[in-house]
Amino acid sequence: CIVLGRTCRRRPSRWMRSRSGWTSQSPTQNSPGALLWAPRAWIAGRWVESVLLHAGVDGHWLDIRTGTAPPPQATVLPGPVLPGLVDAHSHAFQRAFAGLAERRTAEHDDFWSWRDRMYGVALRITPAQLRTVAAQLYAELLCGGYTQVCEFHYLHHDESGQPYPDPLAMSRALADAAADSGIGLTLLPVLYERAGFAQPRLRPDQRRFATDVNAVLALRDGVRAWALPRVNAGVAIHSLRAAAPASIHELLRRLQGDSGPIHVHVAEQTAEVDDCLAATGARPIEWLAREGLLDARWQLVHATHAVPAEIDAVAASGAGVVLCPSTEANLGDGLADLPRWLAAGVPLTLGSDSNVCRHWSEELRWLDHGQRLLHRQRNVAAAPALHEGATAARLFERMLAGGAAAAGLPAWGLVPGARADLLVLDLQAPGLLGMPASHVLDSLVFATDAPALREVWVAGRRVVAGGRPIGAAAATGRFAADVAAGFAGTMVELWPA
């Protein structure tokens, strides 16, 4: 058999890889949990044949073996298997807004005008509507190949800006939506206390977002106290413009000894960079590094307008970067320096952000195609000198490797100890039909423009079958009838064509 690219002389039922956390347990007829067999699976950056995967009753991989025939008790999966990816940055409520901001009546439209319109949705959505929107979104993310989502969650208070009787009402709506769909969830309550570097208070249309350090930590601790399956929590800072330096330092002081992730929007817009320079004398990432704040817990969302010295500082700190190509394109943010981020070895992940796109394969295509247009070259992300000449494989592996830290999980992927998540490809899908096995991932990213997943499993349980979320019909009906139509009417009323 082949184990992570090494020849294994042990009998297939007995191999292990202890140095990297592989267990020595072997699936047997009497073992609990799910026993799955795939004709091929993506393990350690390549396709391997005849893979037996054993998930324990706790929903984590106990054992993964290659080169073995399916035992009678195994569920035979109907296609090649990929690990799921982490969606490291989502604003679920913005799914109700997707497609409703693609017109303009003024001479100019940019991120800031889009933001003003987005606030119209944020001011109206209720906890029940948020659950419906998020349940629809999370089902779509599962069908797009994400099995964990990190919610950058700043929508906490009621429509008047006052706390709900249960301060966790909006957080609970998201957790319930995750349970409805079956996706894993990392909740990230956001520190959000001012409108800008020179605006010490929030704007009236930001009233639902108001938090301080105490509130953020109370929200995080409340989520953790639920002890829900597949739900964990870290914290977030909206941005340097939205949180005072003293508050950021106080939050970090109180996070000493806590290993949870810390996310922050940073350097998304050139105006933000200019304002930060004027207020602090430093660029946003430069300021974080100068203050000695960055470490491996940090995830810098967007980092679009980072300069080489900042990229080097992030690499030295161990922090990760979350790229959101479809949203960054939709909002006109700009293009990140992908070649330099890759060369620096910075951990990378993807985010669906505003949720105009819910498929990681399309995000990867946007990511490399943007660089092709910028540099007028092809396969910009590939690295033949590193024996990584396949663009899709290199990008997928980098996003896979960054997932655990972004979501605050101890392990991720098709490895023992990680949660038992996987994707089953549909080889009859347009773009994959007739492809040689060696080029299936390339085709999925660069030649497939239709759904290509037959099944999705999370924690050893199938949540998508036949390309459709299991039990999603009711949520879809509520979304169409109660939410999408209502918000579409609001948008047309506020911004007529």
Active site residues: 302, 353
**Burial category of 282 from C-beta neighbours within 10 Å (exposed 0-12, middle 13-18, buried 19 and up):** middle
Instruction: Determine which helix (DSSP H) or strand (DSSP E) holds 461, and give its type and residue range.
Output: strand 461-465
- DSSP class per residue in 142-167: HHTTEEEEEEEE---S-TTSPPPSST
Helices (H), 291-333: 308-317, 325-330
The pair of structure tokens assigned to 428 is 């009859």
The single-letter code of the amino acid at 156 is: H
- Phi/psi at 134 (5° precision): -65, -40
Enter the DSSP assignment of 196: B
Residue 264 CA from chain centroid, whole number: 14
**Burial category of 350 from C-beta neighbours within 10 Å (exposed 0-12, middle 13-18, buried 19 and up):** buried
Question: Are the CB atoms for 34 and 460 separated by under 8 Å?
Answer: yes
Closest by Cα among 470, 452, 453 to 461: 470
Question: Are the CB atoms for 53 and 64 separated by under 8 Å?
Answer: yes
* 3-state SS assignment for residue 312: helix
What is the torsional sign of CA 316, 254, 175, 236? negative
The single-letter code of the amino acid at 133 is: V
